[in-house]
């Protein structure tokens, strides 16, 4: 049998997206499967039971509509940002919570005129429980600085509150589970301007099918049942995309100038 180089195996795991330790003790899956095989063999040797009734599952899985109703109820009961964070910490309707290290709720100033919504936390955000503190967060800080802002002049969050394993894209169900909390988050902060960074955020929040190439650089009215009047919202590129495609920074700069001009109109 070929010998496994542990360093190569680790590198391969990280490339496959398994880049987080989710338990303190390593689990020997080989020993587990040998034990399972022995158990199966022992079970086969037993006479077949006459009753075919399956034992009741410990917990019935929630129907999707039930899950959505639960998250809507939990979110709308929150009347402050602290209550909303507590409601999310107690919420069990999004499976991402099971693999994440921390809930990533928000950063910045909830009194600011601008609220920025990204997609989902990455590895560094998951470790620290703060949004946009990794490489794309550094670029976001530079983008804000380019129009004279910093985190005391913006409130920052995401449309997903837990890191998807290996930074995969969030599923439609995960976005739907978090959406009532995001809508409540916006209603509690009531910013004067919203900025949706990246396609996932812009599409989900504006309920549009087009990609970010089409959505960016335009103003929209963001509506939600919780808001009396709509909030002006701008869609722009995600800083992680700009790190991969620096040629798009010119377009992102135009978006930032639009944002700055709108902010100037407010003051």
Which residues are near ligand URA by CB under 6 A? 118-122, 125, 131-132, 134, 136-137, 158, 240
C-alpha count within 13 angstroms, C-beta hemisphere, residue 56: 3
Residue 240 beta carbon to ligand URA: minimum distance, rounded to whole angstroms: 6
Residue with Cβ nearer ligand URA (131 or 180) = 131
Per-residue burial over 248-264, b if 16 or more Cβ lie within 10 Å, else e, is ebebbeebbebbeebbe
Per-residue burial over 47-65, b if 16 or more Cβ lie within 10 Å, else e, is eeeeeeeeeeeeeeeeeee
> What is the C-alpha separation between 104 and 121, in angstroms, rounded?
7
Other CB atoms within 10 Å distance of the CB of residue 206: 19
Residue with Cβ nearer ligand URA (132 or 181) = 132
Do 104 and 183 meet the contact criterion of CB atoms below 8 Å apart? Answer: no
Nearest residue to ligand URA by CB is 118
The region, left, alpha or beta by phi > 0 then psi within -120 to 50, assigned to residue 11 is: alpha
Residue 192 beta carbon to ligand URA: minimum distance, rounded to whole angstroms: 22
Residue with Cβ nearer ligand URA (197 or 229) = 197
DSSP label at residue 227: -
Residue 36 beta carbon to ligand URA: minimum distance, rounded to whole angstroms: 38
**DSSP helix/strand/coil, 43:** helix
Residue with Cβ nearer ligand URA (231 or 240) = 240
Residue with Cβ nearer ligand URA (67 or 137) = 137
Residue with Cβ nearer ligand URA (134 or 180) = 134
Residue 132 beta carbon to ligand URA: minimum distance, rounded to whole angstroms: 4
Residue 134 beta carbon to ligand URA: minimum distance, rounded to whole angstroms: 6
Its sign, for the CA torsion 156, 160, 162, 168, is negative
Residue with Cβ nearer ligand URA (87 or 104) = 104
C-alpha count within 13 angstroms, C-beta hemisphere, residue 247: 1
C-alpha count within 13 angstroms, C-beta hemisphere, residue 239: 22
């Amino acid at each position: 049998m070929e010998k496994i180089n542990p360093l190569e195996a680790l590198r391969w795991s990280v490339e496959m997206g398994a880049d987080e330790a989710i338990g303190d003790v390593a689990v020997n899956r080989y020993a587990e499967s040998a034990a399972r095989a022995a158990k199966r063999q022992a079970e086969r040797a037993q006479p077949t039971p006459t009753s075919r009734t399956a034992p009741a599952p410990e917990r019935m899985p929630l129907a999707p509509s039930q899950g959505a109703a639960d998250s809507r109820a939990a979110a709308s009961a929150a009347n402050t940002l602290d209550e909303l964070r507590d409601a999310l910490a107690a919420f069990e309707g999004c499976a991402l919570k099971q693999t994440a290290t921390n809930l990533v709720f928000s950063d910045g100033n909830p009194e600011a005129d601008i609220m920025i919504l990204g997609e989902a936390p990455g590895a560094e955000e998951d470790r620290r429980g703060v949004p946009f503190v990794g490489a794309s967060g550094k670029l976001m800080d530079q983008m804000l600085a380019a129009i004279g802002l910093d985190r005391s002049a913006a409130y920052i969050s995401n449309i997903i509150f837990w890191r998807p394993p290996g930074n995969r894209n969030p599923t439609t169900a995960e976005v739907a589970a978090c959406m009532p909390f995001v809508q409540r988050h916006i209603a509690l902060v009531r910013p004067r301007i919203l900025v949706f960074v990246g396609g996932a955020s812009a599409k989900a929040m504006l309920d549009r099918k087009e990609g970010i190439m089409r959505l960016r650089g335009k103003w929209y009215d963001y509506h939600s049942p919780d808001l009396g009047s709509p909030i002006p919202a701008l869609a722009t590129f995600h800083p992680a995309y700009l790190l991969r495609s620096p040629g798009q920074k010119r377009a992102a700069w135009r978006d930032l100038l639009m944002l700055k001009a709108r902010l100037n109109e407010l003051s």
